[in-house]
Amino acid sequence: MTKHSYQKPSQQTQEEALKIARGIQRPAQTKEQTKLIAQGIQKGIDLYKKQQKEKARDLNRKLKKISSQKAQSIESDDHEIHIVYRQHWLPWSLLFLTWLGAGIYFLVQIQ
């Protein structure tokens, strides 16, 4: 089995190629030469369409890949968010010392 199978060009492509070939026909040109030119134009049109389809497929693959990566990153972000608040020891130690000082002051005042 061959890798590339040749598909018969569509009727629209054949008509378009023949129209273009007749449009650029020289006065002394034979019908056979015009047919050969039309076939060349037709092959060019088919090649262009094939390239455009390939570009569209590649673009779709890239878009799918990017969208799947975004979906994975959103899912992983939901599970990996861990916020840790670290507070400095100085305010807590000052608060403790203030309460300790107030407690000692009141104990001394009561006696």
**68: how many CB neighbours lie within 10 A of its CB?**
10
Inside any domain, residue 57? yes
Compute the chain's Rg from CA coordinates: 40
pLDDT per residue, tens digit, the chain (111 aa), is 456 666 677 888 888 888 888 888 888 888 889 889 888 989 998 999 999 999 999 999 999 988 888 877 766 655 556 677 788 889 999 999 999 999 999 999 987
Specify if 49 maps to a domain: yes
What is the reported pTM? 0.52
98 within a domain of the structure (yes/no): no
pLDDT at residue 103, as a whole number: 93
Q: Which domain holds residue 41?
A: 11-82
Question: What 3 state SS string does 31-90 have?
Answer: HHHHHHHHHHHHHHHHHHHHHHHHHHHHHHHHHHHHHHHHHHHHHHHHHHCCCCCCCCHH
What's the domain count of the chain?
1
pLDDT of 1: 46
